Amino acid sequence: MAHNPTTDELKRNANAAANDAMRDLRNGASRIEDEARYATGKLSQDTGSDGLSGRGAALASEALEAGRDYANRAREVGQDYAERARHQAAHLYDSGQQTAQDVAHFAEDRYDELSGMVRRHPAQALGIAAGVGFLIGLMLSRR
């Protein structure tokens, strides 16, 4: 039998996925920033006293700043996606709750109808139940 997740499980799963995506984006942004720092340090070490050190330092500084900008943008985008995922999870949860309430109300109405019908015609209800039981018994015995 297939497992049908409840709305609470769906909400937890969506929140977990949003948090995972946010963490992955933060880690990626930090790696970009670290790599830019490393490249800046490496570039400033590689430039000697041949007049390129000023230009190399400027390039390294620009690379570091670009890395920081990319890292900050990645964090912002990650937070935006995580917030959207949380909002969607909340929407799905509310929708699932409303659907569950509608189904419960429908089932209750049908139960009340059936109960009233059985009370009005008990012999007919007993005959139908016996007939259905007999048919189910026949089907199960042939397997």
Extract the tokens encoding 31.
Answer: 């790696």
Number of Cβ atoms within 10 Å of the Cβ of 127:
11
How high is the pLDDT of residue 105?
93
State the angle between helix axes of 7-46 and 53-120 in degrees (0 to 180), rounded to the nearest 10.
Answer: 180
How high is the pLDDT of residue 132?
93
How high is the pLDDT of residue 2?
47
Number of Cβ atoms within 10 Å of the Cβ of 91:
12
Q: What is the spatial distance between Cα 46 and Cα 29, in angstroms, rounded to a whole number? A: 25
How high is the pLDDT of residue 59?
72
How high is the pLDDT of residue 49?
47
How high is the pLDDT of residue 70?
81
8 A C-beta contact, residue 63 and residue 39: yes
**Consecutive sets of 10 residues in the chain, 143 residues long: mean pLDDT of each?**
63 76 76 70 55 65 78 81 84 87 92 91 92 93 83
How high is the pLDDT of residue 72?
81
CA nearest neighbour of 86 among 28, 29, 30, 20 = 20
